[in-house]
């Protein structure tokens, strides 16, 4: 009589398409497995949105079964928050913190240097968050509104004080609203990144920053 089969953890086995024989998967520590699931979930949510994704698809993309998926995340909505919303929260908070340094500039040279650095940072941030940002805003209408109220709107508010009273020796046009200006600045880079994303074109960051920063400075500050 043969030896009894040893029970295998569901997380240790996978069944390749077209085969009934399970294949041993490399066992990962819980934090590594969680990170693997999050990266896979980002790809699925970006591709299909929250409503269009299924837990089976999320598990398959991560190379695990649904039982393992629910071991790490109780619901699909919880996984969406961890994979999409939380990374955006961290990036926006980082951007808010860095932008505070811009307000401490005193000399004209320092203002100009920090201005270009701020534009570069803003472009880099939008390029990084663009796929997740679109998913967070438009994957689910109610969640999108909540994300905007909780995270994007405070970001715009935090950027507004960096629209200085003067720049390069010129006073800001008093008829212009700083918060609206901060939204326009983000919107300009968001539109440019979206265009390059959909066309699959390379981004000339230097030219883009020079164009937006020049237009912004010439339109916001009086001659």
Q: What percent of the chain stands above pLDDT 70? A: 83
Least confident of 23-32, 63-72, 164-173, 186-195: 23-32
Distance set, CA 34 to CA 61, 62, 70, 74, 129 (Å): 13, 10, 11, 13, 21
CA 208 to chain centre: 20
Query: Using an 8 Å Cβ cutoff, are 23 and 14 in contact?
Result: yes
Give backbone dihedrals phi and psi of 216, rounded to 5 degrees, phi first: -65, -50
Query: Using an 8 Å Cβ cutoff, are 212 and 119 in contact?
Result: yes
> How much is the pLDDT for 107?
75
β-partners of residue 171 are: 166
The pLDDT mean for the chain works out to 82
d(CA 139, CA 151): 16
> How much is the pLDDT for 6?
41
What is the dotted CATH code of the domain comprising 26-74? 1.10.10.60
Domain boundaries, the chain: 26-74, 84-220
pLDDT at 1 over 50: no
Q: Which fold has domain 84-220?
A: Tetracycline Repressor; domain 2 (1.10.357)
> How much is the pLDDT for 136?
92
Q: Could you read off the pLDDT of 7-61 as tens digits, one per residue?
A: 444 444 444 444 454 455 567 788 899 999 999 999 999 999 998 999 999 999 9
> How much is the pLDDT for 8?
42
Question: Among 51, 35, 41, which Cα is nearest to 143's?
Answer: 51
> How much is the pLDDT for 11?
45
pLDDT at 91 over 80: no
Query: Using an 8 Å Cβ cutoff, are 124 and 192 in contact?
Result: no
Q: Could you read off the pLDDT of 98-121 as tens digits, one per residue?
A: 555 556 667 778 778 878 888 888
26-74 shares its CATH topology with 84-220: no
Q: What is the pTM assigned to this prediction?
A: 0.71
d(CA 99, CA 162): 7
């Amino acid at each position: 009589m043969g030896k009894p089969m040893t029970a295998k953890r569901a997380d240790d086995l996978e069944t390749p398409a077209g085969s009934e024989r399970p294949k041993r998967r490399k066992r990962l520590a819980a934090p590594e497995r969680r990170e693997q699931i999050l990266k896979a979930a980002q790809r699925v949510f970006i591709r299909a949105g929250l409503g269009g994704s299924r837990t089976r698809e999320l598990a398959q993309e991560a190379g695990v079964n649904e039982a393992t998926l629910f071991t790490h995340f109780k619901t699909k909505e919880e996984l969406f928050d961890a994979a999409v919303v939380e990374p955006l929260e961290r990036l926006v908070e980082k951007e808010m913190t860095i932008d505070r340094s811009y307000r401490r500039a005193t000399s004209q040279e320092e203002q100009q240097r920090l201005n270009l650095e701020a534009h570069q940072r803003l472009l880099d941030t939008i390029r990084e968050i663009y796929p997740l940002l679109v998913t967070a805003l438009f994957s689910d209408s109610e969640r999108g509104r909540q994300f905007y109220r909780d995270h994007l709107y405070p970001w715009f508010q935090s950027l507004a004080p960096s629209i200085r009273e003067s720049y390069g020796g010129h006073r800001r046009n008093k008829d212009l609203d700083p918060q609206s200006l901060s939204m326009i600045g983000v919107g300009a880079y968001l539109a440019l990144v979206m265009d390059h994303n959909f066309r699959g074109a390379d981004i000339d960051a230097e030219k883009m920053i020079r164009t937006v920063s020049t237009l912004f400075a010439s339109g916001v500050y009086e001659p």
